[in-house]
Structure 1
Amino acid sequence: MRTKQAVAAFAVLLALAATSCDDGDGQAASGNSQASAAGNGGQGALGSDGDGTDGDGTVAGGGEAQLASVAGADELIRLISNVTTCESPSTDPEDTTFTGVDDTSSETAVGQESATNAEWGIEERATCDGEDGSANGHQLIVVSDMARFEAAFKARQEEEIAAGEGDTRTRWFVGKNFAARIYATDSEERDMLSLGTLGLNCAPGYTAPPNSTTQDALVDGCVLTDFVDA
């Protein structure tokens, strides 16, 4: 009787050992998968064309670029300072009425900022001067509602284009919760991509060149692209 019990107990121990090994392998596989995801920003693999696209310039396989975010205007100023001169920063409403956002032809543009911020989903504004000290300071915006910002930007861009005054080039760079338009050199604008941003363009029928990548923005008719107009 004792022999049968010993055999049964030994069998149970073998089964438990096998289960333990399986669990360890599974955890290791899971850990490797998590490490791989963390290493590429939590993304799946991009397309097989070698440039991360489906061949038509769109980002492939759900591999959308990971956009950066900021904690506020001060952090946005520091971020922009990594690629371009950002002197005399200011968050004063007198300094932060922005062409393309506000009705800067109006003497009451500053007084209308609160309403404009609500319309555009703007949380904070800041500006700073480029190296040339021009009157066109960098336009830096912390966004509380990016879909609202894109919708307002799209409406403004379409309106200006229809009036023959619009710019179809990609000028605004957006992260997850901020937007920036910098007045700098072409190379500095291209360097904006290294900060975790993409260019926002809502011009009707806009198509980025074939050697670039695009992905859908939050609003229909708008795209995010890594193409920077020189």
Structure 2
Amino acid sequence: MEFIFLLGFFAFIFSIIYLLYHFIRKIKDRERKLKKKVFLPFLIGGLIFMIIPTPFIDTGVQGQLNVALKENEKLVKENEKLKSQYDKLNLQLKENKKIAKADQKLKVQSDELKKQIATLNSEIKEKSTKITEYESKLKSLEEEKTTLASEKEELNTKINNLTAENTDLQNEVDNLNSNIASSSSNDDSSSYVSSSDVTSGTEVFANCTELRGTYPNGVPAGHPAYVPSMDRDKDNYACER
């Protein structure tokens, strides 16, 4: 194909040279005519021989074009990859912005929580000091309570002892009164009978006033003059003052 192209090229060049030669000769000889049988076959044949093998001639341009096309395809693919990566990076950037906003919100919330925790810690410390004070007061009160309980027990013991002594003394007084009553004169016994009735060893009084006229401090249980109805506080001692 390259040989045909060269033949056509030389034929075309020959036709051009022949045309120039004709014009040069025509300047001297104006009646000279162009030989079309020589000019046209070389011109048309040269053009045909140049045009026909042109698509089949590999001058290296097609190969470069193919290489360029392949590189273009690679670049397109790389561009697509870069575009996808760019989209991914944009998404990551948006997510990072969202995360940054969320981090800021969390930071603000964390600061608020820290403030609340600090306030709660101060309140806890205050309440702890109050609790410590209350516990110390409670301990002192418990100690006072223990002391008062021991004192109360001592007082109850003393009261019981005094009550026992009082009972003994009252019994002695009652015995003395009974002895005095039995040894008194008939006048005294008559006045005694007027204020009380003796029936089978039991002394009967109408009320505590009448009983206190004979027994100023009252009478204990078991005494002949003891009546449960006169023992209002049920301490086994009637009409005590």
TM-score (norm 2): 0.28
Instruction: Between the two structures, name the one with larger relative contact order (CA 8 Å, sep ≥ 6).
Output: 1
Q: Which has the larger radius of gyration?
A: 2
TM-score (norm 1): 0.29
Which has more helix, going by share of residues? 2
